[in-house]
Amino acid sequence: MKELTFLLQESTINPTVVAFPGLLTGRKFFACLLPLLYEVGKDPCFQSGSSLQSQGNPVPETENIYLVKKLEELYDSSQVRNFSVQMDELGKIIPSYAEYYNQRFCETIDIIAYYRPYHFNLFKYGIYIDLQQFFLFTVWIMNSLNRSLEEAKKFALDIILTHERFHYIVELYASNFELETGSAGVYEEYKLLYSKFWSTENCWEETLANYFVKMCHPFWDRAKMEFLAYFFERQLNGYRQANLITAQNIGLYFDWLERQILPERPSLNFSQILSLISVLPMAQMSLDNLPVYLLDDTGNPEVFKMLMMLLFPFARL
């Protein structure tokens, strides 16, 4: 507990985007959560439904982990130089995107980036982006939609950051109940249940995380929306069902998810998560609340530097 208190005093990260009703923010939020985070470091393994006793899904042991300082570092591509030369060089040493995205199958967004919950990781929580996988996804978008690197990268970032941010919102929803009731373990029990439903049609969190991308960007052009539908349709079960959600049935999907998180929740005629999303600025991205990291998944420091220079020239390693 002393170690957690020290981290609490040293941290400048606010773990909430906004305050839910009855939910504190910043250091007070974590001060209330400390008694509930007795399982820090015990991260459920989604493949097996069991709990991992050490670090769960640990960050790869690499020196090349970059904490994004400003959103401009992610989105600004104005300083890219020798683009075609860099693309040709990278094409010789990394896989083709067609191995991951093709007419028969597409990998999920979670292979490109993933969310590490604060329940299990404390101040190492946040969105982690695998740089090579992000590059391959961006190139696929460039070729599929005939867009520039800057346009494709922005579209790719909007997709993955929105999807992963939904996982964060789900954790906040569970935290709200934990704080109001003092019940520890609600989120962990739910994640174990999630792990059993993962890659099935009942994995509502992934279904809604995909749909959340559309929900937050209603004014995207037709080509982008058709690309998303194509992308989702070829993903694993539990992810592809996002294409089945409509304005008429969306409430059902949120109700199913909330019942997975809180099985004893009384029957309601509205969705608590959906209500919060509709009235609070959840669609906004804030690094003060939700950190973003860039990871070296290449195994080659030189390739990592090339990708950083190509995709994120404003980032300072």
CB-CB contact of 232 with 182 (8 Å)? no
Q: What is the pLDDT of residue 235?
A: 96
Q: What is the pLDDT of residue 27?
A: 45
Q: What is the pLDDT of residues 2-12, one digit of tens each?
A: 332 222 233 33
Largest CA distance in the chain: 60
Q: What is the pLDDT of residue 13?
A: 35
233 located within any domain: yes
Helices (H), the chain: 2-10, 26-33, 71-75, 83-91, 118-121, 131-145, 149-181, 186-197, 204-216, 222-233, 250-261, 272-279, 301-311
**Along the 317 residues of the chain, how does pLDDT read in single tens digits?**
333 222 223 333 333 333 333 444 444 454 555 444 434 444 445 433 444 333 345 555 555 889 998 888 888 876 665 566 566 777 777 888 999 999 999 999 999 999 999 899 888 899 999 999 999 999 999 999 999 888 999 999 999 999 999 999 999 889 888 888 888 889 999 999 999 999 999 999 999 999 999 998 999 999 999 999 999 999 999 999 999 999 899 989 999 999 999 988 776 777 888 776 766 554 356 777 789 999 999 988 888 988 888 888 877 66
Q: What is the pLDDT of residue 51?
A: 40
316 located within any domain: no
CA angle 75–59–105, rounded 5-degree value: 65
Q: What is the pLDDT of residue 200?
A: 93
Q: What is the pLDDT of residue 289?
A: 79
Cα separation, 142 vs 159, whole angstroms? 14
Provide the residue count of the chain. Answer: 317
Single pTM value for the model: 0.82
Domain span holding position 35: 2-311
Strand 113-116's sheet: what is its strand order? Answer: 65-67, 292-295, 126-130, 113-116
Cα separation, 113 vs 167, whole angstroms? 12
Q: What is the pLDDT of residue 315?
A: 77
User: In one letter, which amino acid is 106?
Assistant: C
123 located within any domain: yes
192 located within any domain: yes
Q: Output the DSSP codes for 194-231.
A: HHHHTTSTT-HHHHHHHHHHHHH-TT--HHHHHHHHHH
For the chain, the domain total comes to: 1
